[in-house]
Amino acid sequence: MSVTTTLKGRRSEYCEIQTSNHQFNAWLNRSTSDLCMMATQTKYGEYPYAGVPWFSAPFGRDGLITAFETLWVNPSMSRGVLSFLAATQATVDDPERDAQPGKILHEMRTGEMASLREIPFDRYYGTHDATPLFVMLAAAYHDRTDDTAFIQTIWRSIEAALTSVRSHGSPKARVNSFSSPVRSQVLRRQACCQASCSAHSINCRSPNACVGAHPPRSSCGQCTG
């Protein structure tokens, strides 16, 4: 079977979109072809790998966001992503892999170095957003397809992900995860911003939001605006 025949077969799974703008049509066609090229069949279903050549591997966040963006045209990809990530969800604490029970995969590699544990990326879980995104995609997939039977098969994984978010994803935990120098720099920038707001008669309701909106007025020398 030729590459062209395979690509045509995979594209037929997507709804076809045509507009009156030829350039926009070309962009859509190229985007669909690129997505089909990176989508890989696994035993859990189709999964969009992160990129070619160096990132031709499953990445949790990348797969979840891609599944979200294509859910309306090809929900089967979302099902494949959810199945794969449920099957590779962390079940134990493993500091070397940044794994905690319920966390969703960040990256998975194969090959000699991964198999020999020379790198921690055979299954690596060092991501904060993949776990809540997994729960969100499951809800969006059910809204789109009403596929309750499938959701029931990954329900324990959804519950484990929610427990992980509650246990390890609290605002206090995120703040404490900052290193001391980084936290100090953030606080300095906020102080510089507040001083600048005062100098320019600006009502600064959110120092985080307005940093960089105007020149800082501070003698600390650390705030670049």
pLDDT of residue 148: 95
- Residue 2 has a pLDDT of 47
Residues 124 and 204 in one domain: no
Of 179 and 11, the one with more pLDDT: 11
Do the domain assignments include residue 60?
A: yes
* Domain co-membership, 162 together with 187: no
pLDDT for the residue 205: 45
Range of the domain at 203: 182-210
Q: Is residue 175 part of a domain?
A: no
Do 111 and 186 have their domain in common? no
Same domain assignment for residues 147 and 196: no
CA gap 164, 140 in Å, rounded: 20
Tally the domains of the chain: 2
Same domain, 56 and 146: yes
Within a domain: residue 219? no
The answer to whether the CB of 207 falls within 8 A of the CB of 225 is no
Tokens of 153: 């098969």
Q: Are 130 and 156 found together in one domain? A: yes
pLDDT, residue 160, reads 95
Do 195 and 106 share a structural domain? Answer: no
156 and 104 fall within a common domain: yes
Of 36-45, 136-145, 176-185, where does the model show the most confidence? 136-145
Do 73 and 145 reside in the same domain of the chain? yes
At residue 209 the predicted structure's pLDDT band, cuts being 50, 70 and 90, is: very low
**Residue 74 belongs to some domain of the structure:** yes
Most trustworthy range by pLDDT among 56-65, 67-76, 144-153: 144-153
Task: Compute the average pLDDT of residues 175-179.
Answer: 38
Q: Specify the pLDDT at position 29.
A: 85
- Residue 145: which pLDDT band, with cuts at 50, 70 and 90? very high
* Domain-embedded: residue 217: no
